[in-house]
Amino acid sequence: MAPPLSRRHLLQAAALAAVAPAISYTTSGKAVAATAATPAAWSVQPFSLDEVALKAGVFADKRQLMLDHARGYDVNRLVQVFRANAGLSTGGAVAPGGWEGLDGEANGNLRGHYTGHFLTMLSQAYASTGEQVFADKIATIVGALTEARAALRTDPKMLAVTGRWGGALESVRGSYQYVDLPAAVLGGASAITLSVWVRPTHDANWQRVFDFGNNTTRYLYLTTRNASGVPRFAITTSGAGGEQGLNGTAALPLNQWSHLAVTISGSTGTLYVNGTAVATNTAMTLNPAALGTLTNNWLGRSNYAGDPVYAGGFDEFNVWSRALTQAEITSLQSNEAKLSTAGLGNLASYYFQATSGGTFSDASGRGLTATLRRTWGGPSHPGFLAAYPETQFIALESMTASDYTKVWAPYYTAHKILRGLLDAYTATGDARALDLASGMGDWMYSRLSVLPEATLQRMWGLFSSGEFGGIVEAIVDLHSATGKAEHLALAKLFDLDSLIDACAANTDTLNGLHANQHIPIFTGLLRLYDATGETRYLTAAKNFWGMVVPNRMYGIGGTSTGEFWKASGLIAGTISDTNAETCCAYNLLKLSRTLFFHEQTPKYMDYYERALYNQVLGSKQDKADAEKPLVTYFIGLTPGHVRDYTPKQGTTCCEGTGMESATKYQDSVYFKAADGSALYVNLYSPSQLTWAEKGVTVTQATDYPREQGSTLTFGGGSAAFALKLRVPSWATAGFQVTVNGGAVSGTPVAGSYFTVSRTWKAGDVVRVTVPFRLRVEKALDDPSLQALLYGPINLVARNSATSYLQFGLYANAALSGDLLPTLTPVSGKPLHYTLNGTEFAPFMEGTEAATHAYFRRVEPKVVFGNLDSGVANPAKSDGTTLLDEIWAGAPFASKSVLVSKVTSTVNAWVSAGLLTQANGQVVINTAGQATYVS
């Protein structure tokens, strides 16, 4: 085992490992990107999406729904949160909602992640179809992100909008911008008037129009909405309990200009709304003079850190050292202050239309220039790019316990953005995307490289807050594109040593861990292995995979319950409404695929087929929708569960990965040996491969899985290589291969690859026949709880009952051991069957039917060929029944062989006292009298 690289030496190693970018092209010859070479450690390599075209079939149908969604969606909605964070105009775009926006779960602490997913989806769609609409949308997003980062690199600038009297200042919700006024703005006046035009754009309570104070003890403020939703003015020198206030009587309208004014003179304070006095307090003992000189003098920001920043417009803010009369207040309603009877404020007067920068001159003559600022200051590095302030990243560094309402996986969100930018660069060659991605890498390195090792380990060990998704994989890919040593060093800074070391030692510590927080870590470790040669990364990833598959895997290929793992082997004991988070399947597919690049172990592609053809296909609803991608978050495996395709208001992590999955279904149909000596056919899927290096095409025609086989036709020139055809581990009913109509010698073995080597030429036809059998998979912790699979397909019962259904399957089992004859096919509906009045259908169908993914296996009577012996089916103490033991001997070459097995088994059970001699003879006689399907 090679010794691990220390971080001290990693920069030097990274510099030596850096590779120069290389231009890659589509099959049409169009330059699309600058990407690094395939890792040398990969003995098998993938084809790019544009080299494998999907043909008509279930995958193309599902993809079409997602492509239509992508074509029609206004991507300005996605970048709304980035533009807002940078203080730029959002152009009236409305953020998608859910996790994308300020009103969703945890106040949108993940906002920006969905934009990254969407970029990846668009990039894959463009690579697959070449449609310009996808490239155009990518360019719009990349352009907006470029503008947003540029704005974040400088001090905030005024966003001008149409105001009450011309131009006005807009404070975009999510920009965290406010106006900072000089300390002398109130002038120590004992009598005062404050006047302002506001146009609030959000109805959050406690948004301050202004707040002048030192802290939460000594201040005066005006808010557009108090806890009752009406304007409020208050002044205090003893905190909230000592406030002397004035409350309005009605809520201010949103998106309309309203005038607010407050006057204090002697013991009387008055609040005016649109020229009308709505509140008067004649017992006031406080005024600005009592407060003295104040530290924080803000428009739009509160001295209470938890209050929202004001969202909306400001026009004309004036302060007078006297109480204006009612007539003067009235005059302000129809005139600019300078033209009103009140005149300009003598303490302060700001015309926000007078600047396009970040400062506002004072027209009062006192020279009190105001400055536009952000509550969080500004980025620590010019490469920073996010849809929220850097504060989440900063706070994470000192957190000791998770609180997602304050910090919700900021590096996870950074990963999605980074991955989307890299994919956009690969798909379109837009240098801006790589520049943005490289800047993000530079910024993350500047933050993380200065932190102590103990801090990093604590951060990455925090549930949710420290989740970083697949960022390591993305950073290694970034390094491949930039060659910057710092980027490879950055990837190492995400090492979670406790997890890596445990998995490298094959010690299972997954119980209680958040599943999707940890699965993508291992894909990243594989890429780190590629870049550094540290074998513990590869070992850890392989061992980790074995801890999940099959020990924590459901029949559909998914894993996790309520997002977490339980103990190894616990399946029946974890069935719930929140099983199989869709992101987990997405990331396990990616991990399995990447492991196969290193070791061509068939189990990885067996898993890939299972999860792809079941959970991933079934997670996408078979329905068009312009607003939502319609992808599940959880897939409940409880009896009668109905899938929810619009979870959590949409825009979740799983809908993001679901969009990605639906635009890359073809990514693992074919692989090639790194030296070009072999072509792997991993999946039987209607598609066409263009293998440019060999000058050949391979067209796969099939309706798999409705068809039990596939036909591959070669085109182009001639080329010598080994064709490696995957023999699924479930393919125990025979696997046959012909070339140009002639049988190929050799014995295919289930769970392997069958190799046909020759010089292939145009017109060659390979026919693969893969007979399906109906079989069950037993829950590891409860053998009586079973899932039904037919070939690669999980068949689920459609029934609204909320308790486990009970079925027996031996009644008409075939001599081959196939259980299918016990079921009745549904005419005109491939892969649909009925049993005892209940329909079984493929899980991959994205319906809203109530389903049962698991059922209770009950075989009360000994029945052969639908002939009931009348004898109860006895069982051993471990639950194994007589029929189980008999049928474990399948396949049977003939009826006589079966009867012989029945006889020997019955005799053993009679000898063990588990069956009477008389009943045993009845069982043997029934087996001999029955008629069997072969």
Query: Token pair of 387, please?
Result: 């849809």
Query: Is residue 145 predicted with pLDDT exceeding 70?
Result: yes
Across the range 718-739, mean pLDDT stands at 97
CA–CA separation, 273 vs 717, rounded Å?
82
pLDDT of residue 1: 34
CA–CA separation, 395 vs 448, rounded Å?
13
* 670-769 matches 177-374 in CATH topology: no
Q: Which residues of 134-156 are buried (b: 16+ CB within 10 A; e: fewer)?
A: bbebbbbbbebbbebbebbeeeb
pLDDT of residue 396: 98
Query: Is residue 905 predicted with pLDDT exceeding 50?
Result: yes
pLDDT tens across 442-467, in order? 999 999 999 999 999 999 999 999 99
CB atoms < 10 A from the CB of 174, how many?
A: 26
Query: What is the maximum span of the chain, computed from C-alpha positions, in angstroms?
Result: 115
pLDDT tens across 676-686, in order? 999 999 999 99
CA–CA separation, 109 vs 769, rounded Å?
51
Query: Is residue 14 predicted with pLDDT exceeding 90?
Result: no
pLDDT of residue 74: 98
Rounded to the nearest 5 degrees, what angle is found at the Cα of 510, between the Cα atoms of 504 and 514?
Answer: 125
The answer to whether residues 671 and 43 touch, using CB atoms and an 8 Å cutoff, is no
| pTM of the predicted protein model | 0.94
Query: Token pair of 712, please?
Result: 């591959």
pLDDT tens across 790-830, in order? 999 999 999 999 999 999 999 999 999 999 999 999 999 99
CA–CA separation, 552 vs 571, rounded Å?
7
Strands 833-835 and 232-236, sheet pairing: unpaired
Give me the amino acid identity at 841. A
pLDDT of residue 824: 98
Give the count of alpha carbons within 13 A of 806, CB side only: 3
pLDDT of residue 648: 83
Q: Provide DSSP, 400-446.
A: SS--TTT---HHHHHHHHHHHHHHHHHHH--HHHHHHHHHHHHHHHH
pLDDT tens across 207-250, in order? 999 999 999 999 999 999 999 999 999 999 999 999 999 999 99
Query: Is residue 9 predicted with pLDDT exceeding 70?
Result: no
CA–CA separation, 184 vs 910, rounded Å?
102
Kindly state the DSSP code that residue 614 receives in the 8-state scheme.
I
Query: Token pair of 467, please?
Result: 């989740």
- Report residue 141: phi and psi, to 5°: -65, -50
Across the range 316-327, mean pLDDT stands at 98
Query: Token pair of 561, please?
Result: 């319950």
Q: Provide the Cα torsion 472, 474, 480, 483; round to 10°.
A: -70
- Report residue 480: phi and psi, to 5°: -60, -30
Query: Is residue 18 predicted with pLDDT exceeding 60?
Result: no
Closest among 54, 63, 51, 127 to 704, alpha carbons compared:
54
Query: Alpha carbon of 774 to those of 515, 792, 840, 841: distances in Å?
Result: 31, 10, 12, 13
CA–CA separation, 918 vs 906, rounded Å?
11
Across the range 758-777, mean pLDDT stands at 98
The answer to whether residues 289 and 186 touch, using CB atoms and an 8 Å cutoff, is no
Closest among 308, 103, 102 to 206, alpha carbons compared:
308
CA–CA separation, 309 vs 305, rounded Å?
9
The answer to whether residues 195 and 315 touch, using CB atoms and an 8 Å cutoff, is no
- Of the pLDDT bands very low, low, confident and very high (cuts 50, 70, 90), residue 372 is very high
Q: Provide DSSP, 198-260.
A: EEE----TT-EEEEEESSSSSEEEEES--TTSS-EEEEESS-GGG-EEEE-SSPPPTTS-EEE
Q: Does domain 177-374 have CATH number 2.60.120.200?
A: yes
CA–CA separation, 645 vs 846, rounded Å?
9
**Contacts (Cβ under 8 Å, ≥6 apart) of 665:** 54, 59, 62, 63, 612, 685
Counting every residue written for the chain, the total comes to 934
pLDDT tens across 334-355, in order? 999 999 999 999 999 998 886 7
pLDDT tens across 567-613, in order? 999 999 999 999 999 999 999 999 999 999 999 999 999 999 999 99
DSSP-derived 3-state class of residue 180: strand
pLDDT of residue 104: 85
Tokens 């829950």 label which residue? 779
Query: Alpha carbon of 330 to those of 209, 232, 259, 281: distances in Å?
Result: 20, 20, 10, 20
Query: Is residue 774 predicted with pLDDT exceeding 90?
Result: yes
Structural domain spans, the chain: 1-31+390-491+516-533, 177-374, 670-769, 859-934
Task: Determine whether 479 is exposed, middle or buried from the number of CB atoms within 10 Å of its CB (0-12, 13-18, 19+).
Answer: buried
CA–CA separation, 682 vs 769, rounded Å?
14
The answer to whether residues 637 and 854 touch, using CB atoms and an 8 Å cutoff, is yes
**Contacts (Cβ under 8 Å, ≥6 apart) of 344:** 318, 337, 338, 363, 364
pLDDT of residue 355: 72
pLDDT of residue 16: 28
User: Regarding predicted confidence, which is higher, 2 or 307?
Assistant: 307
pLDDT tens across 158-213, in order? 999 999 998 999 999 999 999 999 999 999 999 999 999 999 999 999 999 999 99
Closest among 141, 112, 135, 139 to 123, alpha carbons compared:
135
Q: Provide the Cα torsion 923, 925, 931, 934; round to 10°.
A: 70
Closest among 664, 526, 518, 549 to 599, alpha carbons compared:
526
Q: Does domain 670-769 have CATH number 2.60.40?
A: yes
Q: What is the mean pLDDT of the chain?
A: 95
